[in-house]
Structure 1
């Protein structure tokens, strides 16, 4: 398995790609394949978070927070209309950071789940 497999993840940025390569550098090819399969199913695409943030401006605020597993903040956003849309606008601007933080946690938990 080559490192090119990580580059095939949708919306992956250079920082995440380098971090994944560093995380999996000591994995065997079989373990990398297993890691990639599980991580790919758990990973959130930054574009999906952006779309959910924009939906929050016209419909239900907070969907992006539920998507990144921040249930408490999602409920607060729903009840306060995304802090009067200010929080939703900030999330729309910082959608890559939200995705990166979530994906980083999922990569570490995936490696732990597989016992790597």
Structure 2
């Protein structure tokens, strides 16, 4: 596969499921909209390795950092004030770091898709 034809290959830590989701979600977009989508999505996306690192920092240091990074401020504060629910919540997040990243990335893909549809006019007839 050529990188020019599939820019999603350049995203760090992308899984086949995520790539399939992105390709399926952007089929109705024009080339300009796809470029805008890629630009918006790549700036918001979090890799599962990043979430794992933030969760490990939370395990050994300040609990809840991974939740703040994912935009879950209330959960981040709960983790912070309860020590990651006495480390049980942090351990669960260590196990589920890929799911946390996937859920967040799906939300960001939907948001980026909506932005791309609204910002760049469609020229399809």
In 1: Cα distance, 2:77 partner to 2:65 partner? 9
Which residue pairs with 2:10 in the alignment? 8
| Structure 1 residue ranges, 4+ long, deviating more than 6 angstroms after superposition | none
Unaligned runs of 5+ in 2: 119-125
Q: What TM-score comes out, normalization by structure 1 length? A: 0.95
Secondary structure of the equivalent of 1:64?
helix
Match of residue 49, structure 1, among 42, 48, 51? 51
Unaligned runs of 5+ in 1: none
Which residue pairs with 1:22 in the alignment? 24
In 2: Cα distance, 1:107 partner to 1:57 partner? 29
Which residue pairs with 1:97 in the alignment? 99
Which has the larger Rg?
Answer: 2
Which residue pairs with 2:109 in the alignment? 107
Match of residue 33, structure 1, among 35, 39, 49? 35
In 1: Cα distance, 2:114 partner to 2:29 partner? 13
Secondary structure of the equivalent of 1:11?
coil
Q: What TM-score comes out, normalization by structure 2 length? A: 0.88
